Amino acid sequence: MTTVIDRTSGGGPPSEEIHPLYQKRKAIYPKLAHGDFRNLKWGLMILLLGIYYGLPWVRWPRPAGAPDQAVMIDFAHGRFYFFMFDLWPDEVYYFTGLLVVAALGLFLTTAWLGRLWCGYACPQTVWTDLFLYVERLFEGDRTRRMRAATQPMTAQKALKKLGKHTVWLLIAAATGGAWIFYFNDAPTFWQAAIAGQASVAAYLFFGVLTFTTYMLAGTMREQVCVYMCPWPRFQGAMIDKHSLQVTYRYDRGEPRSAHRKGDTWEGRGDCIDCKQCVVVCPMGIDIREGSQLECINCALCIDACDEIMIKIERPTGLIGYDSDEAVAARAKGETPSYRFIRPRTVFYAVALTIVGGLMIWGFLLRTPFQLHVARDRNPLFVRLSDGAIRNSYTVKLVNRLYTVKTFKVRVVGLTDPKLQSPGLKPVGDTVSAPVEPGASRDVRLLVTLPQQALTEAMKPLVIEASVDGQVIDAKSVFISEGGKP
């Protein structure tokens, strides 16, 4: 089975290569690029890896015996802790909302700026960059690595490879370990793991994550983006001719040819066919062939080409962030225009605003207390010896705060109800129920109405709880046989 890759949408020379669905990997030896984008990527790499490895060690004191880890997923107690917030299992919709917001944000940035995520922040890109850095440390830059690949194995070469793979494995182990720290108290778990006292599941996850990190970032690299990740296939739906992407400005570069110092620039393009944009590319492609599925928009070819342009004293930006529309317009001698407000960007922005707004609104209205009522159905009611009717309810009270809170529960909507609750003493028409910090409590509520108050077979009521000046309630009904004696 074959796939035709369209390389023409970038405006470069048309190409209709037939690619097999899977090709044997050709080794890529990307040369180290120098420039603003490379520096930006170094900075982002340090920041993102620093956050990933460091976050489980950040402490955030919480009272009432709650974990003091700033970010932690506590499966045992069903909590997600994130600094001053903690989410309960029934609030999982916040995660769903967050995923929708992240997806819409990704759609919007892709429509505007192409594969920004792939080029700068995707874990595959960041860890591959780190592994390549280690590879260069041990085996040198592109030329030395390419030369070494064709030479027979020597003790020195073996030592370099051993050093590289050892550091890769250490990074992979740190990556797998850090992931597990997010699910446990990091300092405690670290000590237990070192002492061989962590659970089998923890060691299993650690092994799997270490192995996958080593494989994906160390050996598979660009193949993950080309063959495993679905995003390059989806992004075509978000990108159009107005999207800003890393683009070879063929209107300026062509016709390309080698150039000697002192030769005229008349009648030719600025591209001197030095292929520096190709040799720095971690995906091993030539940006001059136009927009390609493999291109992760890492912008390293911009740095490489700018360096050349400076050397040959031509304006920089032969490769840069540009839109297909603008390049095509310049090629026709027209003034290019850039359109950021387009139907698709408006749609994504509106959807993002609505979902993001709903999330913020929901979060602002979030209350630390909850009340749920379940009415006993078997029996529906009990007739007492004096003819009064009793209904039973289970009232679940939730206290998400870190101190004990007393819920004052009462029934609204009935005439002269008598409240009882096993283990709790009613005061007037109210039952007071203390609830432990970060816990829930089921309170049995027995509501009795005298016979003369039984006018309807089904009387709506509200069970109300006041706590800390807040009132929360839930609707239910009182069932009887109406006025029947």
Residue range at the interface with ligand SF4 (CB under 6 A); choices 88-96, 291-299, 435-443, 467-475: 291-299
C-beta of 116 vs 180, nearer to ligand SF4: 116
299 neighbors 282 (Cβ within 8 angstroms) = no
Q: How far apart are CA 295 and CA 288, in angstroms?
A: 11
* Residue with token string 């705060």: 401
Q: Which of 113, 116, 244, 281 binds ligand SF4 (CB under 6 A)?
A: 281
360 neighbors 264 (Cβ within 8 angstroms) = no
Residue 148 Cβ, how far from ligand SF4 at the closest point, in Å? Answer: 23
Q: How far apart are CA 289 and CA 148, in angstroms?
A: 29
By CB under 6 A, is residue 285 in contact with ligand SF4?
Answer: yes
By CB under 6 A, is residue 116 in contact with ligand SF4?
Answer: no
C-beta of 275 vs 441, nearer to ligand SF4: 275
Task: Compute φ and ψ for 277, nearest 5 degrees.
Answer: -65, -30
- Residue 58: count of CB within 10 angstroms of its CB: 13
Residue range at the interface with ligand SF4 (CB under 6 A); choices 91-99, 303-311, 338-346, 440-448: 303-311
By CB under 6 A, is residue 305 in contact with ligand SF4?
Answer: yes
By CB under 6 A, is residue 279 in contact with ligand SF4?
Answer: no
Q: How far is CA 335 from the centre of its chain?
A: 39
Residue range at the interface with ligand SF4 (CB under 6 A); choices 126-134, 188-196, 205-213, 288-296: 288-296
Which among 366, 360, 277, 396 is positioned nearest to 35, based on CA atoms?
A: 277
By CB under 6 A, is residue 45 in contact with ligand SF4?
Answer: no
Q: Which of 70, 229, 274, 401 binds ligand SF4 (CB under 6 A)?
A: 274
Q: Which of residues 213-252 bind ligand SF4 (CB under 6 A)?
A: 246, 248
By CB under 6 A, is residue 352 in contact with ligand SF4?
Answer: no
Residue 11 Cβ, how far from ligand SF4 at the closest point, in Å? Answer: 14
DSSP string, 186-254: HHHHHHHHHTT-S-HHHHHHHHHHHHHHIIIIIIITHHIIIII-SHHHHGGGT--TTS-EEEE-HHHHP
CB hemisphere CA count around 301 (13 angstroms): 30
C-beta of 318 vs 389, nearer to ligand SF4: 318
Q: Which of 238, 277, 327, 463 binds ligand SF4 (CB under 6 A)?
A: 277
By CB under 6 A, is residue 296 in contact with ligand SF4?
Answer: yes
Q: At what angle do helices 186-194 and 200-213 cross, to 10 degrees?
A: 90
By CB under 6 A, is residue 126 in contact with ligand SF4?
Answer: no
C-beta of 108 vs 304, nearer to ligand SF4: 304
By CB under 6 A, is residue 449 in contact with ligand SF4?
Answer: no
Q: Which of 283, 443, 447, 461 binds ligand SF4 (CB under 6 A)?
A: 283
C-beta of 283 vs 409, nearer to ligand SF4: 283
Q: How far apart are CA 443 and CA 393, in angstroms?
A: 8
By CB under 6 A, is residue 287 in contact with ligand SF4?
Answer: yes
Joined together, the tokens standing for residue 59 give: 């402490």
* Residue with token string 């108290």: 185
Name 81's bridge partners: 72, 86
* Residue with token string 């060690």: 57
Residue 343 Cβ, how far from ligand SF4 at the closest point, in Å? Answer: 27
C-beta of 65 vs 230, nearer to ligand SF4: 230
- Residue 244: count of CB within 10 angstroms of its CB: 20
Based on C-alpha coordinates, what's the Rg of the chain?
Answer: 33
C-beta of 86 vs 270, nearer to ligand SF4: 270
Tally the residues of the chain.
Answer: 485
Residue 363 Cβ, how far from ligand SF4 at the closest point, in Å? Answer: 38
C-beta of 136 vs 459, nearer to ligand SF4: 136
By CB under 6 A, is residue 308 in contact with ligand SF4?
Answer: yes
Amino acid at 307: E
C-beta of 278 vs 401, nearer to ligand SF4: 278
Please give the size of the binding site for ligand SF4, defined by CB under 6 A. 28
Residue range at the interface with ligand SF4 (CB under 6 A); choices 99-107, 121-129, 300-308, 472-480: 300-308
Strand locations in 43-163, DSSP E? Answer: 71-74, 79-82, 85-87
Q: Which of 301, 352, 445, 461 binds ligand SF4 (CB under 6 A)?
A: 301
Q: How far apart are CA 403 and CA 458, in angstroms?
A: 38
Which among 482, 464, 481, 485 is positioned nearest to 473, based on CA atoms?
A: 464
By CB under 6 A, is residue 132 in contact with ligand SF4?
Answer: no
By CB under 6 A, is residue 465 in contact with ligand SF4?
Answer: no
Q: Which of 106, 209, 298, 411 binds ligand SF4 (CB under 6 A)?
A: 298
Task: Return residues touching ligand SF4 (CB under 6 A).
Answer: 246, 248, 253, 271-277, 280-281, 283, 285, 287-288, 295-301, 304-305, 308, 318-319
